[in-house]
Amino acid sequence: MNNKRLKTPIIALAFCLFAACGGGGGGGGTSGGKNSNPNLPPAPSLPDPSSAPALKTVFAPYFKIGAAVELNQIDPSTDPADVALLKKHYSSMTAANALKADTIGVGPGQYNFTPADDLIAFAQSNGIAVRAHTLVWHVTSPTWFFTPDPADLDKTDPAAYRAQVRQRLKTYITDVVTHFKGKVYAWDVVNEVANNTADSVYRTDSPWYQAYSAGGADGTEYIEDAFRFAHDADPDVKLFLNDFGTEWPDKRKNVLAIVQDLINKGVPINGVGHQIHSNIFLQASDVDAALTAVEQMSSGLINEITELDLSVYNDGSNYGLTGPPIATLSKQAKLYRDLFSIFIKHDASIDAVTTWGISDAQTWLNSFSVIRIDRPLLFDRDGNPKWAFWAIVDPTIVLP
Ligand code: GLA
């Protein structure tokens, strides 16, 4: 963030805005098309995809721009469209699953680094930086971390059981962070450790919290341990607490309370990852407030947007393959535009903005929380730039 003094206002790139340029893209009801009312000007059409600027170039003055990626998306024989998009547009990549403990942590002292190594090799050969996600997440921590040895140790000697789990955490983090030292610029050390509501600060349904609570000990200490072990293994990599819902005031308070506690204890934490899995009804001002709150806590803290996607749904609808009305995609584009203008305003603290996926063809929201076609990202199901893309690369472009 120190090299951001020479900022230029976002470049208003010259694009073909109107129908005369050819309504490329299309796909899933995304084109503007003619207005049926002859008294109104024609609705704008999507610009020609071939005129799309590279996201990484547009946002280079401000922050890295990233996408979460699965292994199939780096293989030109299975997914040439995503490979091309990655190479053209992104300066950062997050392994969607390859660096999680349920992939890497085969057993105590046993690792499967191959998927992550393959992703990192792809990134390196294409000049893409890698942010690593994630060391400690209750959803993807294999049970071997918590299995007492001998089997009743947790009952016979809770303190020894706790020490055993702590040692496994230390060995895992030390070995994994050492393996990727120099190859990744950031680690999400802990993921989703805050409680969602105002009644308590910490998530207590995590097996880490529960194992560390053995014998009445402090269940929250796994968090500071994780940061210290990671820092000891690689003092240069930036260490993050990553969570969803920092845009909700109660959740944000909990996240900030945990960060403040870590800072007070002298724990090496570099910043907060804001997932921002949300939908088109999100208030951009709530994201602004989250970024500001982190900045106000300590001027040294980094903000990263780590998992951005904006579902077109906030209810049980399903637009299917036809896609939502153009007004919905326009609303999404306007929200992306507002968010990116907030990110640019906060660029002194923001190091990277990452979307959770590349195109609408492969997004977790197509199967979560129900199976349906969602369209939360910047590129459509054919890999063409959506209105959301054009809205952020050119704040002056007229949306339909
Ligand atoms: C969470 C996790 C990510 C990913 C997404 C969606 O936010 O942090 O690793 O699993 O959910 O799949």
Residue 211 pLDDT grade (very low, low, confident, very high; cuts 50, 70, 90): very high
Taking the CA of residue 191 as reference, the ligand 1 atom at the shortest distance is 8
Token duo for residue 117: 């190594």
Cα(282) to centroid(ligand 1), Å: 19
| Ramachandran category for residue 63: left, alpha or beta (phi over 0 → left; psi -120 to 50 → alpha) | beta
**Distance (Å) of CA 322 to CA 7, 374, 381:** 41, 11, 11
Which amino acid makes up residue 11? I
What pLDDT does residue 41 have?
74
Catalytic (active-site) positions: 192, 307
What does the angle CA 233 – CA 171 – CA 132 come to, to the nearest 5 degrees? 55
Instruction: Give which of 83, 85, 73 is closest to 49, Cα–Cα.
Output: 85
**Which domains can be identified in the chain, with CATH numbers?**
39-393 (3.20.20.80)
- Which of 274, 364, 367, 374 is the pocket-test mutation for ligand 1 (most atoms within 8 Å of CB)? 364
What pLDDT does residue 13 have?
39
CB 136 within 8 A of CB 190: yes
**In angstroms, rounded to a whole number, what is the distance separating the alpha carbons of residues 362 and 291?**
28
Token duo for residue 362: 């492969």
Cα(96) to centroid(ligand 1), Å: 7
Taking the CA of residue 364 as reference, the ligand 1 atom at the shortest distance is 12
User: Would you give the DSSP letter of residue 391?
Assistant: H
Return the residue whose CA atom lies nearest to atom 8 of ligand 1.
191
Q: Which residue has the higher pLDDT, 6 or 383?
A: 383
CB 74 within 8 A of CB 119: yes
Q: How far does CA 161 lie from the centroid of its chain?
A: 34
Cα(216) to centroid(ligand 1), Å: 31
Element (H, E) at 271: strand 271-274
What pLDDT does residue 35 have?
52
pTM higher than 0.85: yes
Which amino acid makes up residue 26? G
User: Per residue in 291-314, pLDDT tens?
Assistant: 999 999 988 999 999 999 999 999
Q: How far does CA 368 lie from the centroid of its chain?
A: 16
What pLDDT does residue 40 have?
73
Cα(344) to centroid(ligand 1), Å: 24
Peptide bond into 150 cis (omega under 30): yes
Upper half-sphere CA count for residue 362 (Cβ side, 13 Å): 16
Section 127-133 average pLDDT: 98
